[in-house]
Homo-oligomer: A and B are copies of this chain.
Amino acid sequence: MRRLLVPSTLIAVAGLSLLAFTPVQTADETPLWGFTQAGSRAQRELEARLDAQLQPDSLRVWLKYLSRHPNQLGSPGDSANAEWIAAHYRAWGFQTRIDTYQVLFPTPRERLLELVAPTRRRMNLAEPVLKEDATSAIVKGRLPPYNAYSADGDVEAEVVYVNYGVPQDYEELARRGIDVRGKIVLARYGGSWRGIKPKVAAEKGAIGCLIYSDPRDDGYYNGDVYPKGAWRREDGFQRGSVEDMPQYPGDPLTPGVGATRDAKRMDRKDSPVIMKIPVLPISYQDAEPILAAMSGPMAPPSWRGALPLPYHLGPGPAKVHLKLAFNWDLVPAHDVVAMLPGSRYPDQWVLRGNHMDGWVFGAGDPLSGQVALLEEARAVGILARSGWRPQRTIVYTSWDGEEPGLLGSTEFAEDHAAELERKAVAYINSDSNGRGFLGVGGSHQLERFVTQIAGDVKDPETGATALARLRARLEVAGNDGAARGDLEISPLGSGSDYTPFLQHLGIPSLNIGYGGEGGGGSYHSVFDSFDYYRRFGDPTFEYGVALAKTGGRATLRLADADVLPFRYSSLANRIHTYLGQVEKLAGDMRTSTQRLDHLVDIKAYALADDPTETWVVPQKKDSVPYLNFAPLENSVARLRKAATAYDAALAGKMAAGGPSEQEARNLNGLLQGLEERLLSPDGLPRRPWFRHMIYAPGFWTGYGVKTLPGVREGVEQREWDNVSKYVTEISDALDRLSSGLEQATGMLDS
């Protein structure tokens, strides 16, 4: 049963208000990158009109409405939300459709966890109902806490505490003579993306994995717990996917192609991205008796959390029984796609997206971002009905199935790969949003672009610009250098829907959002609710409006720029920095390997260790060879030169009134495909789906980015042949980009 909570006035187009609109003179008259002086002025006037449409009330009402029922992938609430969103896009004047894919999405059939030794205790595995949180009482249609794409399994074994469960944690365990073969590991959330924990545990021989939220990282250590404060309760759980997304995201059965009804599917048992062992998230209330029953060496100090007990590593004597079984169903994923055709470049697409599926009610993640996206689209629709049309086609997208593994966006990107490669000029993503500071990640040729947007959007709390607040924080943190010049936007790893566009298709991408001043204890729990969000997320919804202003500017500027607003010297300089990091990494590893070997040789460990405890002297490692980074150095040097020349040529051309119609058309056509030149057709080692040579999520770290991943992970994993291979691959990619830039500069100079 659906209640229609949204007032009809918000669906109707408020066209009349435009008649009374007086253009606002903005203070900043610095020309926008990619625009002429006159174009900049017109664009800023358009944005002032956009801003005038944005109402926090829309966001509040929609958020409450969309989060009133469970809305995970495949649920009735999710389908209903998709239809509701599509109806709104249509009402606002967008050409709207729903693309539906059939994706594998396991849901729990049985979950059992019990401590069986030294005492017996069955764990609760359920979240409570709170009177302060209205939707917490809704049980119908809601999924209990679990990790999607865990294996089915029924295992019983002693427990080993493995900290965050990343590879270096197992080195510490080995130093203490502890092996997880045949054991069940207990890992805490944090320190890596969650899917890394069972993946590494399985590689090390563990037969099961529990992941709990330690109050040190996500609970009372950080502040009062919900509902008194924002932080995670003792009986709070973090759901989440453990699909091996660093291999490939999306439907596990159809890598590389859209999961249409008739797509060819692999057998589930052959899918490499489904976990090999059972894995379950638990609360710190359920973890505490297990940890309290552990013995063995003390965990290293940095491993110890905030539970009131000594953290022992085990193995055992705590022993647990874990039994998990799932329904392995294909379910529909509904992507809502809303287009506003461009007047001048209808075949150049600016995509703007945010997912709409949550884990339960999803008020913060993703609906806080979704409603800002919708409000932005509503305002753009009003602009369009007032007579303005974008130069390029604008595509608003509300993705389904992001939570289990970027399913909706990935299947869409794979299904429409050829068209997107030909047409997409950029993809702008958002996700959860809240009170605080602007955060931006993305393709580095967009740093000037982002800086100019941040300089034009007011921070709701201070009245300063979002840029001024960010710079103030950088100054206070002692990062003076970064506080001047253009903002350094973060390179993107993974964790939201930009991944298929950027890393599979090579489309310039941005991820934007506000945050950092709210609490963090509702993530992927039943308490990610409207009641929580209006207290701790963005009580006035003004940061939702700020996101709509930010995303709106990004979308409109990309759509209307005379020349696509890419400034490549930022990209070239950042790549130069990354190369320096990788070279230093290799040097540091060489030194630390020599040092390790020396310490083993002189028996320093044996003498320094406490002889009454078990300490295993580390093994010596093969020395790190000197590596040939010269091809990359040469290509980076060429790129820096080509990028600087292009940026200067473009600035000169724009100052002189801009390119001619034909020049602009030729130039934009060339620029549209430039990021794609950074792809390599073979992709990365172990994961050909990831084709971008500059950005990838870490294969052993998860969401966290690895820049120059082929080379960086080659060094980290001591795979020297891969280093050589990817020095060449990246050099070639950079050379292709340089050629394009040299060609573009030629167009501008001619």
Q: Which residues of A contact B (CB under 8 A)?
A: 215, 220-225, 229, 231, 298, 304, 306-310, 435-436, 461-462, 464, 468-469, 472-473, 475-476, 478, 517, 595, 599, 602-608, 610-612
Contact = CB atoms under 8 A, between A and B. Distances in A.
B310 A604 contact: no
A604 B222 contact: no
Contacts of A461: 611-612
A518 to B, nearest CB: 10
Given A220-B308, A310-B220, A517-B612, A604 B298 contact: no
Given A306-B306, A599-B476, A464 B220 contact: no
Contacts of A473: 604, 607-608
B307 A308 contact: yes
Contacts of A223: 298, 310
Contact of A604 (B307, B476, B604): B476
Contact of A599 (B468, B475, B602): B475
Given A476-B599, A599-B476, A602-B475, A469 B607 contact: yes
B307 A608 contact: no
A469 B608 contact: yes
Contacts of A468: 607
A310 B224 contact: yes
Copies in the assembly, this chain: 2
Nearest to A592: B478
Nearest to A478: B595
A515 to B, nearest CB: 12
Q: Which of A604, A605, A612 gathers most chain B CB within 10 Å?
A: A604
Given A307-B308, A308-B215, A472 B222 contact: no
A381 to B, nearest CB: 33
Q: Which of A225, A231, A462 gathers most chain B CB within 10 Å?
A: A462
Nearest to A465: B607
B310 A231 contact: yes
Given A472-B604, A475-B602, A604-B475, A308 B310 contact: no
Contacts of A595: 478
A28 B231 CA distance: 63
Contacts of A472: 602-608
Given A604-B475, A607-B462, A611-B461, A222 B310 contact: yes
Contacts of A310: 220-225, 229, 231
A435 B229 CA distance: 46
A611 B468 CA distance: 15
Contacts of A224: 310
Nearest to A436: B610
